[in-house]
Amino acid sequence: MLDTDPNVETLDLLDPMRAPLLRSVLMETLADRFMRQIAFVLFQRMRHSVQLLSCIHNVIAHESAMSALPEVMLAGISELTPLRGRMLLAIDGDLIGAMVDAMCGATSAHPFERYELSALETRIGRQMVDMAFATITETFTPIVPLNLAAIAYENATGMLAIADGQDWMIAVTGIFETELGSGTIRLIVPYSAFETLEAKIANQSGLLGGRGPDMNWTSGVDQLTDSTNIDLRFDLARAHLPLAVFQALRPGDLLPVTLWPHAVAVGGGVDLFLADYGQQDGHVCCRVKAEEEGDIEMTTQKERLTGAEKLIEPERVELERLQAQPRGAAAITAKVVLDRVQVAVAVELGRTQISVKDLRALRHGQILQLDQMIGEPLAIFANGQKLAYGEVVAVANDRYGVRVTALSEDAMKDEEDSAS
């Protein structure tokens, strides 16, 4: 018996709490805007260049959001009235230090390892938190009249919990760079607080552009779809043979099938269209066959019940009572059972690849060149596996069949021997 590692925890990959598909369109739309505005406000106070290098937004658990906060920082907590919940805004200690250096007249950066904030840095940090809250409030004003104001300032991570550990939070991180140092400003709000707001303004076309289609996404998917190649195969005949008949086939035998007058194009296991077959430039080719009146479309070749058949009440059938078998009866052997198993046999004309874009543009009369060369034997498949090769021969009444010429394994050995 295998030893159980106590440190190993079973993971449910289908648990939606572990792999959520959450996304805040509202915050994604506005985050970059208010982060850039915060950079401008910092420039006004520092009189040094402040650049927003990146704005990262995602939806993560509250516990993960707290663990990602910098060790040295100052955070402010504000109510989200009229929304439910609280907002947490944390400013990296390095960014606060750069602000203090700039206000004290420093002209160059002096990096050092910071363990805590000084009294002056804490005071300036509170002012920076207040400025950030004011900027965010101004950005959200056209959508919802938030009145963000710090109700508490904290620099210890253990005092910053604003929700349960597994609650989903919207986390926005702005990375700022100045001439005197760089740092981050991190915003954390409950996902549930903005979920209701997003649903309320879903049909508006203002800042969010409504819930209309994302044209960049749609065009990107269309381009990827159009460039995707699809494998097409063209079948000439199909049959279901008992295993006994299938096992008895030998080179030189005729398959108990008759070739169709048209090839059937198959993609992804689905019959797509009929095609005439011939040759061009030394390759086997297929020409898309035009639908004639009275033809049955490939996609509708399924049995349908008529209205009268649907109205007929099905006959009730009772199971027959079973009795013990007499001892003298012959036992059913495994061979008898297996010989009755059906094997799906298909004769393939050839294959080709076509992009989705070209397949959509395919019209009747167009020619597709296959990978099959003129004179090469046809491939015979059994239950999807290549079994043998065959050649077309004439049979009675102007019909054509396929004669087995070699097994696929024998043909591969012959090719290896000739190559060596």
Residues 140 and 281 in one domain: no
Q: What is the pLDDT of residue 257?
A: 84
C-alpha 330/C-alpha 326 separation (Å) is: 9
Q: Is residue 13 part of a domain?
A: no
- Token look-up 């206000």 returns 103
Same domain, 150 and 262: no
How high is the pLDDT of residue 311?
Answer: 44
Judge if 30 and 162 occupy the same domain.
Answer: yes
Grouped pLDDT means (10 residues each) for the chain, 420 residues: 64 53 80 94 88 91 89 94 91 92 83 86 94 94 90 89 84 93 93 80 51 69 88 91 82 85 89 89 86 50 42 50 60 65 89 90 87 88 88 79 82 58
Q: Please report the pLDDT score of residue 167 as a whole number.
A: 86
Number of domains in the chain: 2
232, 265 Cβ separation under 8 angstroms: yes
Q: What is the pLDDT of residue 331?
A: 56
C-alpha to C-alpha distance for 343 and 280, rounded to whole angstroms: 34
- Considering the domain architecture, whether residues 158 and 257 belong to the same structural domain is answered as no
Same domain as 164, residue 118: yes
One domain, residues 69 and 197: yes
SS3 11: coil
Looking at residue 24, its pLDDT comes to: 81
Residues 200 and 253 in one domain: no
**pLDDT value, residue 234:** 92
Asked whether residue 4 is assigned to any structural domain, the reply reads: no
pLDDT value of position 2:
52
State how far the Cα of 134 lies from the Cα of 38, in Å rounded to an integer: 9
**Does residue 82 have a cis peptide bond before it, meaning omega lies within 30 degrees of 0?**
yes
Residue 238 CA to its chain's centroid (Å): 35
- Distance (Å, rounded) from C-alpha 143 to C-alpha 200? 10
Residue 200 belongs to domain spanning: 25-211
Same-domain pairing of 35 and 137: yes
- Whether residue 243 is contained in a domain is answered as yes
297 occurs within a structural domain: no
